[in-house]
A and B are shown apart, each in its own frame.
Chain A
Amino acid sequence: MKLITAIIKPGKFDEVKTALRDAGVKGMTVSEVSGVGRQGGHVEVYRGAEYPIDLIQKVRLEILAEDKEVDALIDVIVKTASTGSIGDGKVWTTTVENVVRVRTGEKGETAI
């Protein structure tokens, strides 16, 4: 089992969510986050003064997936979230030891 974590542009979230649904994903956890990557920061002007902005708003998606579907789901996310410009985000996976469904106590892949 794998945990897929994706950091994407907020404006792309709805599209990605719909595409993942269509790809058969039943569950995901979403949070609004801020961070910095290769995009770096930029300078904003407000009331005539300049301020360096180094943290950019992004959306983080977390999805638990069976090993055999991971590559396909990453493809879906990358394809839908991409605009081609810098700051599109990142997707990574981590290995998950176990998953337990709280209601039934089911364990492993059946709990996903």
Chain B
Amino acid sequence: MDQVVVSAGDTAWVLASSALVLLMTPGLAFFYGGMVRAKSALNMMMMSMVTIGVVSVLWVIYGFKLAFGYEANSQWYGSFSLSGLGDVVNELTNNGGVYPIPLLVFAAFQLMFAVITPALISGAIADRTKFISWIVFVAIWVTVVYFPVAHWVFGFGNKEGETVTGAGFLASRGVQDFAGGTAVHINAGAAALALAIVLGRRIGWQKSPMRPHSLPLVLLGAGLLWFGWFGFNAGSALGANNIAGLAFINTQVATAGALLGWILMEKIRDGHPTTLGAASGAVAGLVAITPACAFVAPWAAVVIGFIAGVICALAVGLKYKLGYDDALDVVGVHLVGGIIGSLAIGFFGSSAVNSAGLDGIFYGGGTDLLSKQALGVGLVFAYSFVATLIIGYLIEKTIGFRVQSEKELIGVDQTEHAESAYEIGGILKGGR
């Protein structure tokens, strides 16, 4: 193992990917910010931005070790350590085998995933969240939910010779999730459902249309997410290699398929392909291909994307039937898309495209892989949903999670931040 030296190419790609994945969170801020009404655009964007702050700090203090430290040799968490990452400066990455990239580069890359996952949840609770309570929620949620779940899914353990210690529960059982269909998207989607239930419906929900205040901002955000997602998926190869190339092309074509699937569904159902539909479809495709991007052939990626586009377009209507106000459809896109992508590996998975992968049903592998995938989907959904309900109600009962109704009507930009997104009133512009 001592003979492994840092690879300049691999390290450069993972560094670049880390920056790409970071960009997704401001991208998400635009995607969500454009979708809410003008009076809560800044609050929506701030929920993403502050997550970058909170999670990055916690990651250095104990987060990385809780997710990827293998000293405790546990399936459920990494290790408890407050070393502040000062002790690993000269180490190589060992995650089920040694990679020729510095451990701190791996830590930076994984940090960006830990940042965007809680930020995704914020879309469900738009227009009505107390900002300080959101900050408290993010800190507790990443500690209790994301860091451990990342260990279950992405923690392949410390490999010394043939001995692996500390591998995660799902990773060691062969559940395939290349870039975070379970750990990121099902996790965030289940939490979004729980928080939508805890906070309750917005005033006027289903009575007034609450249309997006700026669709160009939504498209800007979708574009930044799509761009950054190449780092998310292709960067998860942790090297500049064949698998990264496969993940890259699959990310592109699945997203294209989903964009078309969503607007086709809209055209058939509602008569018009919408801008919001194209943006949501692209994100649904990105979500669905995330777990599968390195395990399926590019043609299969198109099929998975298209299916995700169509089904997610239908799934966003569920909230009206079931009565939960998931404001920006985090459940319909991330939970449903994540489930589609994670289960699709059980059908389209092919050891021919990735020797580390397994054959799914369409490649003669039987239902073994599908049942593993179902285990991953079910466990992450159940844990995240229940844990988030508990955290959410604890915050609601103590410091309060939702603003007073008067503040909600005036708008959380004014009441939580004393700002407004658009200062265009001229002489008529008044204060609060």
Contact = CB atoms under 8 A, between A and B. Distances in A.
Interface in B417-432: 418-419, 425, 428-432
Residue among A42, A46, A57, A58 with the most chain B CB within 10 A? A57
Given A11-B406, A11-B410, A34 B418 contact: no
Interface string A20-47: 0000000000000111000001101010
Interface string A38-73: 000110101000000111111000000000000000
Given A10-B409, A14-B203, A14-B409, A56 B432 contact: yes
Contacts of B209: none
Contact of B432 (A12, A33, A44): A44
Contact of B429 (A10, A13, A34, A42): A34
B406 A57 contact: no
Contacts of B430: 34-35, 53, 55-58
Nearest to B408: A11
A41 B431 CA distance: 8
B161 interface: no
Given A14-B203, A44-B418, A46-B418, A55 B428 contact: yes
A11 to B, nearest CB: 4
Nearest to A12: B409
Contacts of B364: none
Interface string B391-423: 000000000000000110110000000110000
Contacts, number: 41
A34 B428 contact: yes
Nearest to A56: B430
B204 interface: yes
Contacts of A55: 428-431
Nearest to B409: A11
Contacts of B203: 14
B431 A42 contact: yes
Contacts of B418: 44, 46
A56 B410 contact: no
A16 to B, nearest CB: 11
Interface residues of A, number: 19
A33 B409 contact: no
B202 to A, nearest CB: 12
Contacts of A14: 203-204, 409
Interface string B181-209: 00000000000000000000001100000
A54 B430 CA distance: 7
Interface in A71-96: 83
Nearest to B204: A14
Contacts of A11: 406-407, 409-410
Contacts of B409: 10-14
Contacts of B410: 10-11
A33 B431 contact: no
A10 B413 CA distance: 14
A33 to B, nearest CB: 7
Contacts of A12: 409
Interface in B70-104: none
A25 to B, nearest CB: 17
A46 B418 CA distance: 8
A5 to B, nearest CB: 17
Residue among A12, A46, A55 with the most chain B CB within 10 A? A55
A20 to B, nearest CB: 15
A11 B405 CA distance: 9
Contacts of A53: 430-432
A44 to B, nearest CB: 6
A34 B432 contact: no
Given A42-B431, A44-B432, A46-B418, A34 B406 contact: no
Interface string B370-387: 000000000000000000
A45 B410 CA distance: 19
Given A14-B203, A34-B430, 15 more contacts: A10-B409, A10-B410, A11-B407, A14-B204, A35-B430, A41-B431, A42-B432, A44-B431, A46-B419, A53-B430, A53-B432, A56-B431, A56-B432, A57-B431, A83-B406
21 contacts: A10-B410, A11-B407, A11-B409, A12-B409, A33-B428, A34-B425, A34-B428, A34-B429, A42-B431, A44-B418, A44-B431, A46-B419, A53-B430, A53-B431, A53-B432, A55-B429, A56-B431, A57-B431, A57-B432, A58-B430, A83-B406
Nearest 6 interchain pairs by C-beta: A53-B431, A34-B430, A55-B430, A11-B409, A57-B430, A11-B410
